[in-house]
Amino acid sequence: LAKTTQPISMDSYEGQEVNITCSHNNIATNDYITWYQQFPSQGPRFIIQGYKTKVTNEVASLFIPADRKSSTLSLPRVSLSDTAVYYCLVGDDNTDKLIFGTGTRLQVFP
Amino acid sequence: EADIYQTPRYLVIGTGKKITLECSQTMGHDKMYWYQQDPGMELHLIHYSYGVNSTEKGDLSSESTVSRIRTEHFPLTLESARPSHTSQYLCASSELASGSINEQFFGPGTRLTVL
């Protein structure tokens, strides 16, 4: 499984756009990039997944450059309720086990 | 409504007790997982299953055991609980692989405290 590296923590204010970058230098050809969100005392929740270029859904966008060695999760106009830990994971359909790592702790201030 | 359930949500027990943490999902998923997470720390996979009668150990060594007799049910058992088992236990499920990483759906967790 490719190792990922993310910032330990980030701070933001309500209404701002937040970009969390994940480094995965050893990503394999068949690997996808997935992001999860976890609130305190809850299980993680799937946010978005992508393979290349840009993916957008109702809550976030995922930007993946051509070399795929990194990816950026973009949260538009964050609110206090976006305060959580965000995990970046990579793997393919043979990935039985997800390695969550320490994630990025996002704190949104009013 | 399709979902994944864990009971109990909170459990406080004494050392040496045998406990079973329940996990059930109504999504018809073949794959199920158990993770252990200490407060503010990362999740560690302790058990997983591909389907009925399939169980595998995860990356973190655990004294717990699991069984998978029915697709929807994946209980975790501690034969003799100890204070070092105090943690949050999260159950998850996913479909069989189909190219990308399949989304894992997590239950609410069981917070276990062993005195």
Q: Is B43 on the interface with A (CB under 8 A)?
A: yes
pLDDT at B102: 77
Which of A103, A107, A108, A92 lies closest to A47 in space, CA to CA? A103
Q: Render A39-84 in DSSP notation, one character per residue.
A: -TTS--EEEEEESSEEEE-SS-EEEE-TT-SEEEEEESS--GGG-E
How close A96 gets to chain B, by Cα (Å)?
8
What's the pLDDT tens digit per position in A12-35? 999 999 999 999 988 888 888 999
CB B35 within 8 A of CB B47: no
pLDDT at A92: 67
Contact residues, A window 59-88, toward B, CB-based 8 Å cutoff: none
Q: Is A44 on the interface with B (CB under 8 A)?
A: yes
Residue with the two structure tokens 């990503």: A27
- What is the rounded distance in angstroms from the CA atom of residue B43 to the CA atom of residue A102? 8
pLDDT at B77: 96
Residue B100 has pLDDT above 80, yes or no: no
What's the pLDDT tens digit per position in B72-97? 999 999 999 999 999 999 999 998 76
Mutate to test the interface with B, among A96, A97, A100, A107 (most CBs of B within 10 A): A96
Mutate to test the interface with B, among A55, A71, A93 (most CBs of B within 10 A): A93
Task: Report the residue from A32, A98, A99 with minimal CB separation from B100.
Answer: A32
pLDDT at B24: 97
pLDDT at A1: 56
Mutate to test the interface with B, among A9, A41, A86 (most CBs of B within 10 A): A41
Indicate the DSSP class of residue B84.
G
* Inter-chain touch A97–B100, beta carbons under 8 Å: no
Tokens read off for B110: 């069981």
Residue percentage of chain A with pLDDT more than 70: 93
Q: How confident is the model at residue B103 (pLDDT cuts 50, 70, 90)?
A: confident
Tokens read off for B111: 């917070």
